[in-house]
């Protein structure tokens, strides 16, 4: 890896770059798929590729390939695409060599070395978990494990090599008798600590409990959102506004709001690349900036946007270590690491006289990422009466605004879940508009 | 050599370029050159699949997939899977590229995009973005039954978005056109005018009112109706979902499931963005009628689902080196004979929903939710107040039955469709539809 990286950097400089960066990743992933209660097959994906950023007068060119014999051509493409652009006075520099924190819990040898037999048995555990509830079919599901390495090297001395593992499982289920109802559950971890039977069991029990629906009248009421539902809304309707890139481009309604109270004073939100065993944990972000803890909302007060190196340079602040990439095929852009919602916890349903409980929502990606407005269909929703869950609700639309949710949050459960990169318990929001 | 019942390989090689313009400045140019392979192997009822990036040894990849399939078959044997035999596909009437994007300099492309971006920049517009994408790929298919095929495809297109803002209100307008064509897409569509349309739409939405939700009669514009055809009906007709028991269209072939005015087609032979000469299992592409005059005629099939349920394969696609899945191509509702004006007159009072900001569907329960880009109140047959953040939700079969007028103005829209984590290019289309009763959601 180091040899290829050095070759790519040298070639970029030779073709005329002022600075250059190379990102090399290698990963190996095994998955076992479930279709209609049966194991359908196994997949192995071996991915490896290289992305080169070449900077010429502040203009950033990018090229990528997965054919290692094309390193020179790729470096040349990166430089020519930088040259096809005008100079960018906002560009400061690629990150420099720096001191990196130590992190833990992101590399599990058991997952790295896991054999097909164990992968199959985890998939079978999910089906087994679902079968403890009668008349349930796991329509689709999957177990997967992965192991990967990435190297980030640039001409300013950054050299970060990191290795990690991941494991996940999901199950979609449907009822096979009585009213048709569906549900899903999933879990993801960096370590081999997932209870796969529970994934199947939870999904199956939820689908079963969601039978026998009633309709409700449109109203404004307290709504408790399961971690799946609230994290979906947060990711789609809130995160775009704290992305410094959107702020700088006039696409955020949080522009100029630093220091203002924007949320309930008991709510704090932070982002951290250091969390033990977090999905987004690592010593550095995806351009080699040391990971850190960033407070976004401190007891209701808005404190910080999230930055990568370029956007930080534009605002004359330090990067918050939030450069992220989907793969070697793309340049880094601002993204969250581990995004944590923190509100004092209680036994939420028991504390609620009257309201609605929502497990998941569909359509959160259609939210307006600037205004924060959303209108989504709630799934597996239930009435709450006198501190306990009541009847399932047939069909329910929830409309609202994510910034109103932040202000109107008035409770949080003790059921913290790691939903991909967002870590939250269920939350209760006052005065939401629901249409049944 | 390989102790499996079936295997196939896809080798894909090509280049792609993307230019992203933000507020008139080039934000990113990326050039990508990749090669890779995807191999499937079947033993009994177990599939093994491998994908590999870069310079690979195809024999080694076939062995690895075979080992997975054999390993699965030994450890958890399943009911035998039959892969439908097919004829060697022919590449008929391929789309003609008159301006190969690879012959045009990066500088010229950047200049052109900047000009387009300028047209979206108007008073009240706080930011604009414009994106250009091109890709040229060669696909080689072969399977263990001797089927072989090869084609090249060039895809080019652009997207423009403009954000208008006033007093803390932000509204966005978007336009995009993508197709199986070369740089001549800029001759086919006036990108400058489309950029102005996007900007004007965003500005108009600043004055839009929030919609009041409820059940009411609606008219869907061709874009939103096309999304309905794709999301709600197309996905529910995918045979893999039928087989796994998560579609409301299961066991409904031959039944009347929609208003007799409704005919829905999926046609990969059309030279639209979802075009392919043969699918990612080597099956010849062919026009498929999903619903004909209200009757459910056919599901969309892979070679496996076609063998199991009876039907024709030809709708199995993959993104890059991923495993192929049953997918749509160019999906549309056929023209009826009503004019938009007649619909307005007929509806009297209701809501006109226009454009799409995406949506989701639960094919198992048969429910969907789409957000329109905008809407208008219809009062006494006239379009009156402009509405924002308006959505449509309901039950697929109810909506299909509640269609009581179909327009004569079929329009196609290109986009990308996601399923099992894979995105593939598709086109949706429809004429205007009038629906007697649907659930409208608002703010």
pLDDT in tens, B37-84: 999 999 999 999 999 988 888 999 999 999 999 988 988 888 999 999
Position B1 in a domain? no
Q: What is the DSSP string of A335-389?
A: --SEEEEE--B--TTTT-SEEEEEEEEE-GGGS-TTT-EEEEEEEEEEEEETTEE
Position B166 in a domain? yes
Q: Count how many residues are written for chain B.
A: 443
Domain termination residue (choose one: A207, A240, A259): A207
Residues B249 and B236 in one domain: yes
Question: How far, in Å, CA of A389 to CA of A225, rounded?
Answer: 13
Residues A302 and A345 in one domain: yes
Is residue A289 predicted with pLDDT exceeding 60?
yes
Q: Which residues fall within 8 angstroms of residue B123, CB to CB, at 6 or more apart?
A: B203
Cβ(A45)–Cβ(A182) below 8 Å:
no
Domain termination residue (choose one: A177, A207, A237): A207
Which structure tokens are listed for B359?
A: 């949506």
Query: What's the pTM value of the predicted model, to 2 decimals?
Result: 0.87
What percentage of chain B carries pLDDT values higher than 70? 99
Question: How far, in Å, CA of A28 to CA of A20, rounded?
Answer: 27
What percentage of chain A carries pLDDT values higher than 90? 91
Query: What pLDDT does A362 receive?
Result: 87
Neighbours of B269 (CB within 10 A): 17
Confidence band (pLDDT; 50, 70, 90) for A251?
Answer: confident
Is residue B208 predicted with pLDDT exceeding 60?
yes
Is residue A297 predicted with pLDDT exceeding 70?
yes
Question: Who among B75, B168, B371 is closest to A117 (CB)?
Answer: B75
Residues B172 and B231 in one domain: no
Position B183 in a domain? yes
Average pLDDT over residues A144-166: 97
Question: Who among B79, B163, B443 is closest to A399 (CB)?
Answer: B443
User: What's the pLDDT tens digit per position in B86-99?
Assistant: 999 999 999 999 99
Residues A226 and A175 in one domain: no
Neighbours of B384 (CB within 10 A): 12
Average pLDDT over residues A221-228: 97
CA angle, B112 as apex, B109 and B118 as ends, to 5°?
140
Position B400 in a domain? yes
Domain termination residue (choose one: B205, B220, B237): B205
Which of A125, A132, A133 has the alpha carbon at shortest distance from A211? A133
Our count of domains for chain A comes to 2
Residues A140 and A267 in one domain: no
Confidence band (pLDDT; 50, 70, 90) for A435?
Answer: confident
Is residue A204 predicted with pLDDT exceeding 80?
yes
Is residue B443 predicted with pLDDT exceeding 70?
no
Confidence band (pLDDT; 50, 70, 90) for A161?
Answer: very high
Residues A153 and A278 in one domain: no
Average pLDDT over residues A245-256: 90
Cβ(B386)–Cβ(B355) below 8 Å:
no
Which B positions 178-197 lie with beta carbon below 8 A of chain A?
Answer: none
Which of A347, A241, A361, A383 has the alpha carbon at shortest distance from A302? A241
Question: Who among A38, A60, A64 is closest to B78 (CB)?
Answer: A38
Is residue B35 predicted with pLDDT exceeding 80?
yes
Average pLDDT, chain A: 95
Task: Provide the phi-psi class of B214: left if phi over 0, else alpha when psi is between -120 and 50, else beta.
Answer: left
Residues A193 and A225 in one domain: no
Question: How far, in Å, CA of B176 to CA of B127, rounded?
Answer: 17
Tell me how many residue pairs between chain A and chain B have CB atoms under 8 A apart.
Answer: 239
> Any idea which residue has 């190297």 for tokens?
A151
Question: How far, in Å, CA of B189 to CA of B140, rounded?
Answer: 32
| CA-CA-CA-CA torsion sign (A303, A306, A309, A312) | negative
In chain A, the residue whose alpha carbon lies closest to the alpha carbon of B55 is A67
Average pLDDT over residues A415-432: 95
Q: Count how many residues are written for chain A.
A: 436
SS3 for B290?
strand
Position B282 in a domain? yes
Domain limits for position B159: 6-205
Domain termination residue (choose one: A162, A187, A207): A207
Residues A244 and A160 in one domain: no
- Answer whether B421 touches A (CB < 8 Å): no
Our count of domains for chain B comes to 2
Which B positions 250-309 lie with beta carbon below 8 A of chain A?
Answer: none
Question: What is the b/e burial string over B84-110, where b = at least 16 CB atoms within 10 angstroms of the residue's CB?
Answer: bebeebeeeeebebebebeeeebeebb
Distance from CA of B86 to the nearest CA of A (A): 22
Cβ(B177)–Cβ(B158) below 8 Å:
yes
Query: What pLDDT does B212 receive?
Result: 85
Is residue A355 predicted with pLDDT exceeding 90?
yes
Average pLDDT over residues A258-267: 98
| CA-CA-CA-CA torsion sign (A227, A230, A236, A238) | negative
Q: Which residues of A touch B46 (CB under 8 A)?
A: 39-42
Residues A235 and A183 in one domain: no
**Contact A370/B365, CB-based, under 8 Å?**
no
SS3 for B388?
strand
Query: What pLDDT does B2 receive?
Result: 60
- Answer whether B359 touches A (CB < 8 Å): yes
Distance from CA of B365 to the nearest CA of A (A): 6
Q: What is the DSSP string of A234-269?
A: IIIIIHHHHBHHHHHTT--TTTT-TTSB-S-TT-EE
Residues A128 and A219 in one domain: no
Query: What pLDDT does A365 receive?
Result: 85
Q: Which residues fall within 8 angstroms of residue B103, CB to CB, at 6 or more apart?
A: none
Residues B169 and B232 in one domain: no
Position B356 in a domain? yes
Question: How far, in Å, CA of B180 to CA of B273, rounded?
Answer: 5
Distance from CA of B337 to the nearest CA of A (A): 32
Residues A70 and A91 in one domain: yes
User: What's the pLDDT tens digit per position in B272-328?
Assistant: 999 999 999 999 999 999 999 999 999 999 999 999 999 999 999 999 999 999 999
Domain termination residue (choose one: B189, B205, B221): B205
Average pLDDT over residues B125-153: 96
Which B positions 218-257 lie with beta carbon below 8 A of chain A?
Answer: 240, 243-246, 248
**Contact B126/A182, CB-based, under 8 Å?**
no
Q: Which residues fall within 8 angstroms of residue B251, CB to CB, at 6 or more apart?
A: none
Average pLDDT over residues A349-370: 92
Average pLDDT over residues A20-45: 94
**Contact B365/A181, CB-based, under 8 Å?**
yes
Average pLDDT over residues A115-136: 95
Residues A49 and A194 in one domain: yes
Is residue B345 predicted with pLDDT exceeding 60?
yes
Candidates A41, A78, A314, partner chain B, best to mutate (most B CBs within 10 A): A41
Residues B105 and B216 in one domain: no
Residues B316 and B378 in one domain: yes
Query: What pLDDT does B184 receive?
Result: 97
Domain termination residue (choose one: B205, B228, B245): B205
Is residue A111 predicted with pLDDT exceeding 80?
yes
Domain limits for position A252: 213-436
Residues A201 and A249 in one domain: no
Neighbours of A38 (CB within 10 A): 17
**Contact A39/B78, CB-based, under 8 Å?**
yes
Query: What pLDDT does B200 receive?
Result: 97
CATH number for A140: 3.30.2290.10
**Contact B439/A66, CB-based, under 8 Å?**
no
Distance from CA of B205 to the nearest CA of A (A): 13
**Contact B170/A370, CB-based, under 8 Å?**
yes
**Contact B33/A376, CB-based, under 8 Å?**
no
Question: Who among A59, A65, A84 is closest to B106 (CB)?
Answer: A84
């Amino acid at each position: 890896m180091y040899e290829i990286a050095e070759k790519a950097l040298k070639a970029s400089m030779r073709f005329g770059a002022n600075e250059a960066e190379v990102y090399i990743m290698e990963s190996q992933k095994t998955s076992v798929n479930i279709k209609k209660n049966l194991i359908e097959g196994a997949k192995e994906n071996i991915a490896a590729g290289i992305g080169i950023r070449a900077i010429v007068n502040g203009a950033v060119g990018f090229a990528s390939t997965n054919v290692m014999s094309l390193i020179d051509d790729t470096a040349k493409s990166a430089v020519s695409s930088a040259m096809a652009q005008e100079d960018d006075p906002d560009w400061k520099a690629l990150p420099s060599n720096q001191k990196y924190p130590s992190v833990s819990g992101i590399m599990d040898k058991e997952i790295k070395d896991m054999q097909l037999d164990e992968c199959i048995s985890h998939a079978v555990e999910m089906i087994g978990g679902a079968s403890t509830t009668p008349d349930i079919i796991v329509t689709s599901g999957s177990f997967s494990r992965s192991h990967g390495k990435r190297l980030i090297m640039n001409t300013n001395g950054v050299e970060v090599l990191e290795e990690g593992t991941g494991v996940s499982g999901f199950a979609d289920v449907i009822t096979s008798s009585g009213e048709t109802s569906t549900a899903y559950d999933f879990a993801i971890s960096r370590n081999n600590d997932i209870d796969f039977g529970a994934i199947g069991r939870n999904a199956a029990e939820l689908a079963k409990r969601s039978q026998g629906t009633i309709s409700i009248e449109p109203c404004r009421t307290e709504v408790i959102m399961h971690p799946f539902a609230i994290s979906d809304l947060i990711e789609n309707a809130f995160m775009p506004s704290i992305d410094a890139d959107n702020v700088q481009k006039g696409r955020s309604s949080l522009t100029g709001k630093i220091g203002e109270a924007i949320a309930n004073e008991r709510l704090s939100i932070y982002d951290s690349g250091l969390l033990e065993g977090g999905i987004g944990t690592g010593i550095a972000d995806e351009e080699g900036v040391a990971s850190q803890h960033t407070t976004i909302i401190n007891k209701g007060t808005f404190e910080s946007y999230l930055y990568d190196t370029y956007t930080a340079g534009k605002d004359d602040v330090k990067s918050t270590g939030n450069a992220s990439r989907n793969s070697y095929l793309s340049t880094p852009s601002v993204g969250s690491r581990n995004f944590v919602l923190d509100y004092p916890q209680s036994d939420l349903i028991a504390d609620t006289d009257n309201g609605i409980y929502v497990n998941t929502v569909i359509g959160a990606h259609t939210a307006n990422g600037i205004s924060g407005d959303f209108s989504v269909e709630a799934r597996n929703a239930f009435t709450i009466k006198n501190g306990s869950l009541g009847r399932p609700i047939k069909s329910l639309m929830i409309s609202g605004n994510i910034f109103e949710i932040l202000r109107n949050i008035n409770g949080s459960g003790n059921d913290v879940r790691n939903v991909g990169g967002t870590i939250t318990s269920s939350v209760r929001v006052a005065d939401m508009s629901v249409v049944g | 050599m390989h102790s499996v019942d079936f295997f196939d390989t896809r080798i894909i090689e090509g280049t792609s370029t993307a230019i992203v313009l933000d507020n008139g400045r080039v934000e990113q140019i990326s050039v990508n050159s990749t090669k890779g392979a995807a191999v499937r192997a079947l033993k009994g009822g177990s599939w093994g699949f491998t994908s590999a990036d870069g310079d690979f040894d195809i024999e080694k990849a076939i062995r690895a997939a075979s080992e997975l399939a054999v390993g699965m078959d030994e450890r958890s044997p399943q009911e035998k899977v039959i892969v439908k035999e097919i004829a060697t596909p022919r590449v008929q009437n391929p789309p003609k590229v008159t301006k190969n994007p690879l012959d045009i300099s990066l500088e010229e492309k950047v200049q052109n995009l900047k000009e387009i971006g300028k047209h979206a920049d108007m008073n009240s517009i706080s930011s604009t973005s414009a994106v250009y994408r091109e890709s040229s790929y060669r696909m080689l298919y072969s399977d263990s039954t001797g089927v072989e095929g090869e084609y090249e495809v060039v895809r080019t297109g652009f997207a423009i978005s403009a954000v208008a803002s006033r007093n803390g209100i932000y509204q966005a307008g978007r336009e995009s056109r993508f197709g199986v064509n070369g740089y001549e897409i800029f001759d086919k569509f006036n990108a400058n005018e489309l950029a102005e349309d996007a900007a004007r739409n965003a500005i108009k939405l600043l004055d839009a009112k929030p919609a009041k939700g409820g059940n009411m009669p609606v008219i869907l514009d061709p874009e939103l109706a096309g999304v309905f055809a794709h999301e709600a009906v197309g996905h529910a007709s995918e045979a893999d979902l039928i087989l796994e028991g998560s579609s409301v269209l299961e066991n409904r072939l031959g039944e009347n499931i929609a208003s007799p005015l409704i005919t829905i087609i999926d046609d990969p032979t059309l030279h639209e963005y979802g075009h392919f000469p043969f699918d990612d299992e080597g099956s010849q592409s062919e026009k498929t009628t999903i619903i004909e005059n209200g009757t459910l005629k056919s599901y969309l099939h892979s070679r496996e689902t076609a063998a199991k349920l009876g039907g024709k394969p030809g709708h199995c696609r993959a993104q890059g080196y991923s495993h192929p899945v049953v997918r749509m191509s160019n999906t549309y509702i056929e023209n009826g004979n009503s004019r938009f004006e007649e619909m307005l007159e007929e509806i009297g009072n209701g809501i006109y929903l226009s454009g799409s900001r995406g949506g989701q569907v639960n094919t198992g329960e048969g429910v969907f939710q789409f957000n329109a880009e905008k809407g208008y109140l219809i009062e006494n047959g006239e379009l009156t107040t402009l509405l924002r953040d308006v959505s449509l939700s309901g039950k697929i079969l109810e909506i299909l039955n509640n269609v009581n007028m179909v327009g004569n103005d079929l329009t196609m829209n290109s986009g990308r469709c996601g399923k099992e984590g894979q995105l593939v290019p598709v086109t949706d289309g429809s004429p205007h539809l009038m629906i007697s009763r649907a659930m409208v959601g608002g703010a």
